């Protein structure tokens, strides 16, 4: 067992998905808060309610869907998960990465993780898309790692490096995709915090001083597990609120409305990235 997740349980979920979808996805996309409509890009999609998938942790947060859609973009089978679970919901780091373990067992090669994030970099604006180049994983640094627990050789190495965790190749494809779609993208370091309270202003200033460009409450554990299992990762943050205004007081509603505005651009970007993967 790894932090409470049995490999057989993940295998059962993966088998269920493969059987119901009739195909094993090659690419998986995890859609963050308010970003679920990214799944509308898929053709001939089968939609699973995640409550049906054995062992799959179910999101409890408003703005997070509960679907796993498996369909096609061009010639590539793609899975889009609308909604994810977070540490602050009470799930363990191993539970919040159950999805990525299942994607790994299904044979997914490229994982695209998206999230809503607060902007720490003063050049950012609400609605900006940021390619994640690296992360600062506060929960992980403090011991809340999805890899904590007995080492299971089938999951990958005990001490996986996080150097280059955000694939340079996929970032290059995303830059090309953005240029072709006429979109501007930012780049930067994603800081993961535990939440669910938003940062105190002094905390946000401290995160900026540590080198963060955006801050959010997800993603880093998924990336750690993806890298342990050998998946290539592209991370994209949508900037939903800004921290360098002294009066910043983010609300969940503000975050969701910023995401709704960003969805059409994110959809175009992800579609084009996957088309470019298909062309290689
Ligand atoms: N902080 C943490 N998580 C977030 C934020 C933020 O400002 N915005 C969206 N998710």
Distance of CA 72 from the midpoint of ligand 1 (Å): 31
Can you tell me the distance from the alpha carbon of 161 to that of 139, in angstroms, rounded to the nearest whole number? 17
Please state the domain extents for the chain: 7-279
Q: Are 259 and 35 in contact (CB under 8 A)?
A: yes
Q: What integer pLDDT is reported at residue 246 of this predicted model?
A: 61
Comparing C-alpha atoms, which of 139, 121, 133 is closest to residue 239? 121
pTM of the shown model? 0.96
Residue 3: strand, helix, or coil:
coil
Series of mean pLDDT values for 10-residue runs along the chain (280 residues) = 78 98 98 86 94 94 84 96 93 97 98 97 96 98 96 94 98 97 96 96 96 98 98 97 80 87 93 92
CB atoms within 10 A of CB 251: 10
Would strands 67-73 and 43-49 be described as parallel, antiparallel, or unpaired? antiparallel
Would strands 232-242 and 129-137 be described as parallel, antiparallel, or unpaired? antiparallel
Distance of CA 208 from the midpoint of ligand 1 (Å): 13
Question: In terms of CATH architecture, what is 7-279?
Answer: 3-Layer(aba) Sandwich (3.40)
Strand residue runs (E) in 228-279: 232-242
| Residues acting as catalytic residues | 33, 64, 86, 88-89, 116, 217-218, 241, 252
Comparing C-alpha atoms, which of 65, 47, 56 is closest to residue 15? 56
């Amino acid at each position: 067992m790894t932090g409470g997740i049995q490999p057989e349980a993940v295998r059962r979920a993966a088998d269920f998905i493969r059987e119901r979808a009739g195909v094993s996805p090659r690419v998986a996309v995890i859609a963050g808060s308010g970003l679920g409509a990214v799944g509308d890009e898929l053709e001939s999609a089968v939609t699973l309610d995640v409550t049906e998938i054995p062992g799959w942790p179910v999101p409890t947060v408003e703005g997070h869907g509960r679907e796993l859609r498996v369909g096609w973009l061009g010639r590539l089978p793609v899975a889009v998960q609308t909604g994810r679970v977070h540490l602050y919901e009470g799930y363990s780091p191993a539970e919040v990465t159950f999805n990525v373990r299942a994607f790994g067992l299904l044979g997914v090669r490229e994982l695209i993780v998206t999230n809503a994030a607060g902007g720490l970099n003063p050049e950012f604006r609400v609605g900006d898309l940021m390619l994640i180049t690296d992360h600062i994983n506060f929960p992980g640094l403090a011991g809340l790692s999805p890899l904590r627990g007995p080492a299971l050789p089938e999951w990958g190495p005990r001490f996986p490096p996080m150097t280059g965790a955000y694939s340079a190749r996929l970032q290059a494809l995303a830059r090309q995709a953005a240029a072709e779609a006429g979109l501007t993208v930012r780049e930067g370091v994603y800081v993961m915090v535990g939440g669910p309270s938003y940062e105190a202003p002094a905390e946000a200033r401290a995160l900026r001083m540590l080198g963060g460009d955006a801050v959010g409450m997800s993603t880093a554990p998924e990336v750690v597990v993806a890298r342990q299992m050998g998946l290539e990762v592209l991370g994209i943050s949508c900037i939903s609120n800004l921290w360098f205004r002294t009066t910043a007081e983010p609300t969940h509603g503000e975050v969701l409305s910023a995401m709704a505005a960003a969805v059409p651009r994110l959809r175009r970007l992800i579609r084009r990235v996957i088309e470019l993967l298909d062309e290689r």
